[in-house]
Chains A and B, each alone.
Chain A
């Protein structure tokens, strides 16, 4: 993103915000309406539940590419912990501290 403030008229700026908001809400409403009409979506659920392992794998690849070994290890540890009975808030804190925060000070 550019650091230079864009020269946008107030009317155009508000039109952009309001039209985006309306569109996003319309899509959410469409989802609710279609869910009511079509019932269950096993394939949609498989698509969405497959995002997690795919995202994890992508994150690990990205971390390795950055030579960010702490983040990569944190993600793998997080996945292992998330499959135990450990409460997910603790898992979340373990992963976030490893991935996002503490490495800057370690």
Chain B
């Protein structure tokens, strides 16, 4: 019996370690973004504890940015606008979780529910990449990557709240760090990065330039994704 259990446990440990190693190159980008978020949280009036709690409980950069954006309007507008914005931003987790269906099957149901907390853009991208390469022990790798990124995110945002940045983030193009990172991780699984999503994404981003880069980038990415969604099977 032990002969079979030990290799399985070892394989899981190996998967955890691989997930951790895969996530290591993402740490600088996540940490920088976390410090920027912590700085912005301080400017909006969140306490250190509220900033750390937001990171620890949400673990979602986009939703936390929405929280900051809506923060000044809480007193007058109540919670509903914040919750609507958070819901819209978080809806992407549903198709993301769906594409990782094999991951959840590898866990007992309660464990899958707990592990879903670690589903973020970065862990999803790494797991998708692992799936494309046919790697084993993806569940363990997902958890390993998620845990290390979670720790980095919470610590860096709390640090940013304590020691705010003294330079403007735009100077270092920090708004592009996370999208650029995701692009690199995702580029290889999209084997035939066909022209249609790219052209649609470029066109929409160009049209939305007057609204500022984050809005244009998001709209372009969404439009490109829809173009891929509408393509016949086998083309994308």
Which residues in A have some Cβ–Cβ distance to B below 8 Å? Answer: 1-9, 12-21, 23-25, 27-32, 34-36, 38-63, 65-66, 68, 71, 75, 78-79, 82-83, 88-89, 91-93, 95-96, 99-101, 103-104
Contact = CB atoms under 8 A, between A and B. Distances in A.
Contacts of B177: 96, 99-100
A57 B86 contact: no
Nearest to B115: A32
Interface residues of B, number: 100
B226 A47 contact: yes
A54 B117 contact: no
B74 to A, nearest CB: 5
B180 A19 contact: no
A23 B87 contact: yes
B188 interface: yes
Interface of B: 24-26, 28-29, 32, 40, 43-46, 50, 53-54, 57-60, 63, 66-72, 74-75, 79, 82-83, 86-87, 90-91, 93-101, 104-105, 112-113, 116-117, 119, 124, 128-129, 171-174, 176-177, 179-190, 193-194, 197-202, 204-206, 209, 213, 216-217, 220-229, 231, 233, 236
A50 B225 contact: yes
A12 B78 CA distance: 9
A91 B184 contact: yes
Contacts of A7: 45, 75
A31 B98 contact: yes
A78 B216 contact: no
B74 A13 contact: yes
A31 B74 CA distance: 28
Contact of B44 (A5, A44, A50, A89): A5
A-B interface, 7 closest residue pairs, ranked by CB to CB distance from nearest: A54-B224, A50-B228, A31-B97, A54-B201, A5-B45, A58-B205, A58-B220
B71 A53 contact: no
Nearest to B227: A50
5 contacts: A20-B67, A23-B83, A24-B63, A58-B224, A62-B216
A16 B82 contact: yes
A17 B50 contact: yes
Contacts of B46: 13
Given A5-B43, A59-B217, A100-B177, 13 more contacts: A2-B43, A20-B86, A23-B86, A24-B86, A29-B113, A34-B94, A36-B105, A56-B183, A59-B205, A78-B183, A79-B183, A99-B177, A99-B180
What is the predominant secondary structure among interface residues of chain A facing chain B? helix
Nearest to B107: A32
B25 A88 contact: yes
B224 A28 contact: no
Nearest to A52: B186
Contacts of A52: 182-183, 186-187, 189-190, 193
A57 B198 contact: yes
Given A41-B101, A46-B229, A78-B183, A58 B201 contact: yes
